[in-house]
Amino acid sequence: MSEMRFCPDCGAQIIPNDRFCGECGFDITSSMKQPVVNQPTVDPVAGSGNSTQNQTDSYQSPTIQTAPTAIPYQAQVNPAAGNKNAIIILVAILAVVFLGGAGLYWWLAKGEGDPRSASSPAPNQTGVQTTPAAQQPAAKIDLSRASAYLPEPGLKVNYFANYPDGTSGPIEHYTARVVPNESVRVSDVDIVNENGEEFGYGTHYVERADGTYMIYDSVPMEIEPLLKNNLINGLTWSYDTEYGSVVWTVMDMGVTLNLGFTKLDNCLLVEEDNQAVGIKKYIYFAPGVGRVLERSPGGEDLLTTTALSRIDQAQASQMVIRWSPNYETIKDDRTQG
């Protein structure tokens, strides 16, 4: 039996060379005379055989003659256009990567290039920028100026004193700023206990162009030098009284003083020769603290600091005012001295 085919009208199987479909009666030959969509062109120089056979052989079953396989979308694109689109996409991707990397580098480098970044932390929750105390540069003190050795307000210092008459005892020392006159930098008071009774002696410190001076509260119209500016080893100054002169000489600078409970750096050592009473002693001044140690030429401690602390300035002011009845009238009267 010859090859089987299918009816183009109903799809039923038919025997080759049959004219009509056995199922629907469709005229097979009339269908073969009509052009078929997607039917390949028949070679006119086909092999021998009658025309009917050639015409019927040119038609193939739907199961065999299928539509050409769909070409993938990419294969249908013009190669030149595809290459151009690929290049554009690649350039766009590289541009995004480049811009993103440049932005990241700028963001990271911004903090390094900001001269404040090194010292300016990020704002806290209140939005106020703060610098940790440890990062704050310490103010450089000019140790050649007399004012560097004045005591700061708000100190409580405990001394132990050995007096020339052979007696000894503790001294409480307080520092505060209580004088309204601006020329008076700071005031202090020494409180001693004699036979169960307290006594206080106030002193006020003035800064002038050539150095620092002191005024005893008990004699407010008198002023005498304490330290001179441009301090160097061997510098000498004096103060003349009706009983004789007092001469001071710088013996050393930058001394580290070990007090047992603490060490004080950059201390100033001055010799005080009180020719009026025939007493000589060596005085150590510490920056921001003032007088911290006094010794005799023989090495005996005349005044020793045994404790040093900061207290509330209001409390310190009360102590100074209590023993300085003239504090409101103290000023740097240049007719003094």
Domains, the chain: 1-70 (no CATH), 146-329 (2.40.360)
- DSSP-assigned letter for residue 140: P
Mean pLDDT across the stretch 122-150? 60
Mean pLDDT across the stretch 112-126? 36
pLDDT band, very low/low/confident/very high, at 87 (cuts 50, 70, 90): low
pLDDT band, very low/low/confident/very high, at 26 (cuts 50, 70, 90): confident
Residue 64: what pLDDT? 37
Sequential DSSP letters for 210-258: TEEEEEETTSTT--EEEEESS--TT-EEEEEETTEEEEEEEEEEEEEEE
Residue 99: what pLDDT? 58
Which of 8-22, 27-41, 67-81, 154-168 is predicted least confidently?
67-81
Residue 7 has pLDDT above 60, yes or no: yes
Length of the chain (residues): 337
Whole-Å CA distances, 43 to 53, 56, 277: 14, 13, 147
pLDDT band, very low/low/confident/very high, at 36 (cuts 50, 70, 90): very low
pTM of model > 0.75: no
